[in-house]
Amino acid sequence: MATLTSVHDTLDVARVRRDFPVYDQHRDPPLVFLDSAASSHKPRAVLDAMADYYETTHANVHRGVYAMAEEATARFEAARTRVARFIGATSTAEVVFSKNATESLNLVAQSWGRANLGPGDVVVLTEMEHHANLVPWLALAEQLGLQLRYLRVTDEGLLDLEGLDAALDGARLVSLTAMSNVLGTLPPVRAVADAAHAAGAVVVVDASQYVPHLGTDVDALGADFLAFTGHKMLGPTGIGVLWGREELLDAMPPFLGGGEMIRDVRLDGFTCNDLPWKFEAGTPPIAEAIGLGAAVGELERYGMAAVRAHEVALTSYALDTLRRRYGDDLVVHGPTDPCARGGVLSFGFRGIHPHDISQVLDQAGVCVRAGHHCAKPLMRRLGVPATARASFYVYNDESDVDALADALDACSDLFCF
């Protein structure tokens, strides 16, 4: 298998880009895609795996006994095995396929939460959570009478652990991000998990931004549940993952009812299927799971240590470049140490509205996100209505950062600075 890393354990970006059809397209100006925190592009291996399934092996899984159906099932379950290995799961029974990380987190809230929480029980969250890890708990709190507590964010964009012990007093569950999609912050998940477990709480980790960028070991993180999504890690949309400790999943009621998740159905009741199919009601996202398996294969080929090293170096270059060129006129939210963050730069520039920044940059071929990034409470904590956000991945290099910096000059020119 060909390697895409150098002796310095960094990515050969020019070779990586050749894996992505989007970079084969002629564009004027050239594409500078800096929005992978929202959704990454897909390499040929992913597109080919999904196309081959549809062209040669399409059949429903776990049902037919004819050869094509058995081949479809084998490919689907092989993807689960590959995902389990990628995150350090001890068993494929712990890997549940979902629609996305949002559905995975809702599954935990509605299944584990309804079975184990009641009026007055404490759930601990943080101010830097994506709405997907806020709204399910806000809704459940309203329905069941839960008490929600929040760990604060410091002015430097770090998770404030000063009030951790007080927040954990009587807590039943802690749910937190492993990487902020706004700040890039990498909270000390293991330290929080250890404290939570000592207090008797279950730990849920939203790893949507973490799994695509860092080597992941669910046990090392100290998680009891961990959610992530395929489309941010080179995979297709419509496929997510919930990992959970087998004993917890086994004790939980099903989230959805229908076909596949049952072993038997009678007019007076039903018996659930084994894990993980107990939580996979109906026809699953077969092609999408196969595509996710191929995406994991590509990330393994790149090497997650190389992916992380590349992003730390590129983030460092971006921070230095933008500070040198724009000084205090450009404010990047989050930690200043590139080793303490992911490759996500949310910024404000000379008072220009982020939507205007995004539109002007688009004219130069530079694609950045603008808005609240599904993190409105964090925006309020930062004191801004929205930010522009540039995010890096395996196909970005220093020339993309330079293009971003150059395009910001056009914003200054247009808005008369």
The pLDDT, as a whole number, for residue 221 is 98
The pLDDT, as a whole number, for residue 232 is 98
The pLDDT, as a whole number, for residue 45 is 98
pLDDT of 218 strictly over 80: yes
The band of 9, judged by pLDDT with boundaries at 50, 70 and 90, is: low
Which of these is catalytic: 272, 339, 374, 411? Answer: 374
The band of 417, judged by pLDDT with boundaries at 50, 70 and 90, is: low
What CATH class has 13-41+304-414? alpha beta
Residue with tokens 């940059």: 361
Active site residue 374: yes
pLDDT of 192 strictly over 80: yes
CATH no. for 48-301: 3.40.640.10
The segment(s) of the chain belonging to CATH 3.90.1150.10 are 13-41+304-414
The pLDDT, as a whole number, for residue 63 is 84
pLDDT of 5 strictly over 80: no
Q: For the chain, what percent of residues have pLDDT higher than 90?
A: 95
The segment(s) of the chain belonging to CATH 3.40.640.10 are 48-301
The pLDDT, as a whole number, for residue 2 is 47
Higher pLDDT: 373 or 63? It is 373
Question: Structure pTM?
Answer: 0.96
